[in-house]
Amino acid sequence: MKHAPIFRSLTILCLSLPIMAAAQAPGVPIMRDRGGPARGLIEAAEAARNDGKLLSQEQVIEQMKRQHFTTSLPKPNSVPLHSRTIWQKARDAHVRVGWHYLCNRCDNWHQSLAGGFFINPYGLVATCEHVINPSERDYREGYLIAASDDGTFYPVVEVLAAHAPTDAAILRVAVDKPVPFLPLNVNAYPGDDAWCYSYPLRRAGYFSHGIVNRFHYEQKNGVEVARLAVTTDWAPGSSGSAVIDTYGNAIGMVSTISPAGTGRPRSIRRQGGDETQDILSDPTAIIFRTASRAADIIALTQTHRQANRTRQIEEAVEKEEAEDKESPEDPDTEEKQEDPDDEDTPESEEEDEEVPPEE
């Protein structure tokens, strides 16, 4: 009995542990899935629509014909950051981009939002071409909108440029003060760390970490384009969200996700009641996550002549690398040192299935 006070103290301590464990660090929000600011965004979009401040489907279709515009972009950061700081920068610069629309089943206004991110402090937003393309949707009436991660509504002023093969687009949204942004960085290598902040399957504020797998070619809309592959997690709803390096720069943005099997279905026997069925199944062996490159976004900010010159330089580098591989090594010659600014461009593979933004 003399130990009872000690046991009583331990009991009180144990009961208090779940409460202590549930506390997150100061400034870390508890996200609300499939809810949160959605109703407020619909009301804000409706007010902007009534004031004639929203960009309609017809206007978006016309403006998406623009493939280039001229502007200067901020220089990339060069100081490594802690992963917590990368999370904060990713969240602050994240933009939800999508449609405020009337469907064909009711008279209520809905919203379908994917991802994007600010690339300068004055309202330029990068996102995927398929996120803003009205031809991907069947709406009675629709308007392009944007919002910050905390629910601040941004009317989209115009589509500055879009390019379907690289799945890249840049918008201008109305901001009343400088906004946090992610500089673009093309200097990425396989093995580099990569992070992504997005809303996969409406899971709000999902932050994940992986590495750069490789750069590769894909055939898209009849054009061969270079792509960035990473192991960072994402899913439908993440499209357009930034893929971020250890310095807090965007090295790409989420474009597609493709579960792949072996191509050799196997038979699985299932028994129900008095019947036994043979079912062919090809289980997923790997999931490929492919991003548009930062270079694809930057190309939208160049003139036609600059963009063509960039492609010529890339083709010349690729040709030189191919010739180096074909020619035998000279033992009397020092090994050639590759230019660290050259891109790694492995062989191409079949095109991944494009993932549309969530509803």
Alpha-carbon distance 357 to 211, whole Å? 24
Place of tokens 């809810």: 35
The reported pTM is: 0.76
Q: Which two tokens stand for residue 300?
A: 């939208």
Alpha-carbon distance 143 to 61, whole Å? 11
Torsions phi, psi of 24, nearest 5? -100, 170
Residue 76, H or E segment: none
Alpha-carbon distance 289 to 75, whole Å? 27
Distances (CA, A) of 316 to 166, 171, 196, 311, 336: 20, 31, 32, 9, 17
pLDDT of residue 280: 63
Contact, 252 vs 277, CB < 8 A? no
Residue numbers in the chain where pLDDT is lower than 50: 6-7, 9-21, 36, 329-359
Contact, 230 vs 243, CB < 8 A? yes
Contact, 144 vs 138, CB < 8 A? no
Tens of pLDDT, residues 319-348: 666 666 665 544 443 333 334 333 333 333
Alpha-carbon distance 227 to 293, whole Å? 6
Alpha-carbon distance 189 to 344, whole Å? 7
In the CATH scheme, what architecture does the domain 38-260 have?
Beta Barrel (2.40)
User: Please, which residues bridge with residue 16 across strands?
Assistant: none
Tens of pLDDT, residues 193-240: 999 999 999 899 999 999 999 999 998 878 899 999 999 999 999 999
* Domain spans of the chain, in order of start: 38-260
Q: What is the DSSP string of 83-150?
A: HHHHHHHHHHHEEEEEEEEE-SS-SSEEEEE--EEESSTTSEEEE-HHHH-GGG---SEEEEEEEETT
